[in-house]
Amino acid sequence: MWALSIFSYLRWFITLAVSTGVLVGSALAFIDAARHSSAVYEREGKKSKKIWLIMLGVALAFALFGFLGASGVTLTILAIAPAAVYWYGVRPDIQFDTGNKSQPKETVANKFWSNYWNKV
């Protein structure tokens, strides 16, 4: 019986760690999306700032409810997608926007792949 108790605590700890990470990641994504201007999103060909704030706000609410244990891990899992798309798909493009579209920007992904192919 004591093994069942240990696994129960382990499951609780892993759920708490994951939901805390998703909550923090969603909150930081929402704050970061709010600090960029609307023009940057349009210039980079992304969805509007308003749409991103709505999606990230809903993800933040889902992450908060998941953290509080309102639905187990279901809402936490649903909160991962918008935050991950923002962090890895939108933020690298809008982060270093200078307003000059005549020269291509050097994003983190572009830098990684160009360095990779130069070494091959």
Domain ranges of the chain: 22-95
Determine contact, residues 44/33, Cβ cutoff 8 Å. Answer: no
Residue with the larger pLDDT of the pair 95 and 77 = 77
Model pLDDT, residue 114: 62
Tell me the residue type at 61: A
Model pLDDT, residue 27: 96
User: DSSP letter at 86?
Assistant: I
Cα–Cα distance, 29 to 118 (Å, whole number): 32
Residue with the larger pLDDT of the pair 60 and 114 = 60
Residue with the larger pLDDT of the pair 3 and 31 = 31
